Amino acid sequence: MLTACKPYLASARAVDYLTKHYRVRRMRIILNGRKVGNGDLAVCFENKAYFTKRGLTKRTVLHELYHHLSYVNGLEIAERKEERDANGYARDFLS
């Protein structure tokens, strides 16, 4: 149980820190694979991000945080462009 909690707690702390930095509402992280469909690792809906256990990685958390930031700021971006931008955000952040 402890090994499953560590990535969750670290991800939650990182998201809290980044949302404070960007001065936006906090994104709730929910580890519940049943809400994630279509073979995806994670999905962001409004202020909640749902992750499968396999999907709870730094890259995926940052990717979903980008979706949260675009939602909170009211950005209307085409889905393909938003996905591309979210991948770039996560890649740039981790490099």
Supply the DSSP symbol for 27. P
Rounded distance between C-alpha atoms, residue 54 and residue 60, angstroms: 10
Q: Where are the chain's structural domains?
A: 2-94
Both structure tokens of 45: 């809906």
pTM for the model: 0.87
Given a cut of 60, whether residue 92 has pLDDT beyond it is yes
Q: Kindly report the CA angle at 55 between 86 and 48, in degrees rounded to 5? A: 65
Supply the DSSP symbol for 15. H
Could you report the per-residue pLDDT of 28-84, keeping only the tens digit for each? Answer: 998 876 778 888 899 998 889 999 988 899 999 999 999 999 999 999 999 999 999
